[in-house]
A and B are shown apart, each in its own frame.
Chain A
Amino acid sequence: MTFMKSVIGAAGALALTAAAALAEPALIFDLGGKFDKSFNEAAFRGAKRWSDETGNSFLEIELQSEAQREQALRRFAEAGANPVITMGFAMADPLTSVAPDYPDTKFVVIDVSWLDVPNIRQVAFAEHEGSYLVGMLAAMASKTGTVGFIGGMDVPLIRHFGCGYAQGAKAVNPDIKIVANMTGTTPAAWNDPVKGSELTKAQISQGADVIYAAAGGTGVGVLQTAADEGILSIGVDSNQNHLHPGKVLTSMLKRVDVAVYDAMKAGENVETGVFTLGLAENGVGYALDENNEALITDEMKAAVEEARQKIIDGEIKVVSYYENDSCPVLSF
């Protein structure tokens, strides 16, 4: 309570003076909210790890409206926060107009790689590579020859996930059938576990026995229903194997937490530029722990590890959905 009060007091003073150079990092969560069990929460975990290790605090805001994007960027930059870490591709546009106004502040943005501003660290992930690996695992684990994909909101990013997944599955079994559905067309699709559950049932009735959920909070419903119905599922972003031990085949890891942690650790001296974290950088991968070790046989593991190495060496080229705005092996 007293701590909270001092925080308010300090923040109030900060808001008024807005000039004190506190080299505190700031973290801007996107509209999905801090505890979305997925993307934003991973960022929070990374930030929390940093703050637990160093004992320092960080500023944070969960955005509520579009207009707040630019506002939060400016306010944090003016308050001397450095670096200002932002989540998601929707921050790309506000950053292009705000970042040049604060050349001494470093900005970090996750899931963006196409901006041309010197003081931004842009971190993108090669989700298609990680999805390719879990797609291989899905195809190898499937007995029916049909695997499923459930995306969240129908945006290019999620098609990007699905496309890598389909390529991986086809690499194992060229005849495999891939059932793909999107949860919705509005941001609500990121957090609709009931619809996720319905889609899972629909895909099971079409023969799918492994389903990959790339759908934020909606995926919780996918994993639950898959476990209830006795089929396998694949989690996303964070390691979700523990949610239903022995029922989740694996999780496609996207190390947002590491990206945020690294940025906070580097502090004001964080390196700017474009960084793509793929398999080689351990930015993406598949989760293997005690909850799913019984599901992944040695052959499966060997095959995936081989593919992983080949992708890193450039022998296997996983086509990105972004290249042509289309997927060679899957139509959405």
Chain B
Amino acid sequence: MDRMPQWADVVLIPLISLILAAILSALVILGIGEDPVAAVRMMVNGAVGSTYGWGYTLYYATNFMFTGLAVAVAFHARLFNIGGEGQAMLGGLGVALVCLHVPWPHWSVALVAAAISAAAFGAAWAAIPAWLQARRGSHIVITTIMFNYIAAAVLNYMLVTALRPRGSMDPATARFPEAVHLPTFQQIFSSAGQPLFRGAPANISFFVAVFACIAVWALIWRTRLGYEIRAYGHSETGARYAGISPFRITMIAMLISGGLAGMMAINNVMGEAERLVLNATEGAGFIGIAVALMGRSHPFGVFLAAILFGFLYQGGAELALWTNIPRELIVVIQALVILFTGALDNMVRMPLERLFQAIGRKRRDAGEGAPKPGPRSAQHEPEPEP
């Protein structure tokens, strides 16, 4: 049996999915009487046409990278962590507590501490469903979903009763002190004469996210633990036979996953809002699932998919600002992309696979030599569907 060439799996399938989603979106825009070409141009201009647009696109992308990586790591152990949302909320709590209650001398120290605290809170939130899965067999999908609601309630309770400054209306913490403000892209890249990324929220935590991508790659494919996680994900019985403890792997994979989701808070809470608001995560935890699916659970794929979703978010915002397209339809457009790239993956994959098999057979029949088994390291293995 021929496999699809690597490039088709990585490039062609997402591309075709995207084109299909774009065509359907165009039909939707036509249906409500707007011009799809103008709309797309506005999205592209608004999201990647200026440093301002990039500043927002990369800000959203940073969120999605963290949550996407979180889902991806759990996927490798064949655990479906839908609790990124709740873990990121708790991460926000961790960031807020560290930023508000410790007098930090410099943002860099605060960033490290806040990242550790965010990861610890997120991991702690993931630990309970993980333990329930590993020890009691409670399905992780159900428990992590439910923990999202509990996280929302915990956050609400903390904000309304404990963290809200006296007399303030808004269920949010006070502003973080000046010392912990993270440098934004505007501060990093602007020269005196040329302001870049003006007013955009992208900040130094983007680089932390990129570093996290690299770290996850190294962890999954360059360490013994990563090997164990993957082995466990491919075959639990096989892993057990090889002496890998399912309990240990479930716990560790979920702790890493929760920690990554929690670390999203250094971007949205510490970098952007500079205070903790009630719905700070606004669905990034769920977008992370789509990002991980689209990125085929590979950190580089997650990186690209996160930027795509950042583009969709920022482009959608520009549409909302300058056109009369209702925001519900902007969500429809975003949802179509998620649907095609995540859920309907096989719709594109299967015909393509058949096509490549047919081509392969033809070549064999034509006597162009037997197909050589391609270099197949484990990282090129397509992910098992969760």
Contact = CB atoms under 8 A, between A and B. Distances in A.
Contacts of A5: 34-35, 38
Contact of A155 (B56, B171, B326): B171
Given A8-B38, A93-B170, A93-B175, A68 B317 contact: yes
B170 A90 contact: yes
Q: Chain B binding site: helix, strand, loop or mixed by DSSP?
A: helix
Contacts, number: 123
Interface string A182-214: 000111000000000000000000000000000
Contact of A15 (B39, B45, B326, B327): B45
Contact of B282 (A1, A7, A66, A112): A66
B282 to A, nearest CB: 5
A31 B327 CA distance: 10
A14 interface: yes
Interface stretch (A71-79, A223-231, A287-295): A71-79
B145 interface: no
A9 interface: yes
A186 B166 CA distance: 21
A54 to B, nearest CB: 19
A64 B327 contact: yes
B13 interface: no
Given A8-B38, A64-B316, A186 B160 contact: no
Contact of B160 (A89, A92, A112, A155): A155
A246 interface: no
A12 B38 CA distance: 8
Contacts of A72: 317, 321
A111 B170 CA distance: 11
B272 A67 contact: yes
Contact of A71 (B167, B317, B330): B317
Contacts of B167: 114, 322, 325
A65 B46 CA distance: 16
B34 A8 contact: yes
B49 to A, nearest CB: 8
Interface in A135-181: 154-157
A186 B169 contact: no
Contacts of A89: 169-170
B156 A61 contact: no
Given A7-B324, A8-B34, A15-B322, A64 B278 contact: no
A84 B356 CA distance: 56
Contacts of B170: 89-90, 92-93
Given A5-B35, A8-B35, A65-B282, A186 B46 contact: no
A11 B317 contact: no
Interface in A80-102: 89-90, 92-93
Nearest to A154: B160
Given A62-B320, A67-B272, A71-B56, A16 B169 contact: no
Contact of B322 (A8, A156, A157): A8
B169 A156 contact: yes
A70 interface: yes
Interface of A: 1, 4-5, 7-9, 11-12, 14-16, 31, 33, 59, 61-62, 64-68, 70-72, 74-76, 89-90, 92-93, 111-112, 114, 154-157, 185-187, 322, 325
29 contacts: A4-B34, A4-B323, A5-B35, A7-B323, A7-B324, A8-B35, A8-B38, A8-B39, A12-B322, A15-B318, A15-B321, A31-B279, A64-B282, A64-B320, A64-B331, A66-B273, A66-B282, A68-B320, A71-B56, A89-B169, A93-B172, A93-B175, A93-B273, A114-B169, A155-B169, A155-B171, A186-B278, A186-B279, A187-B279
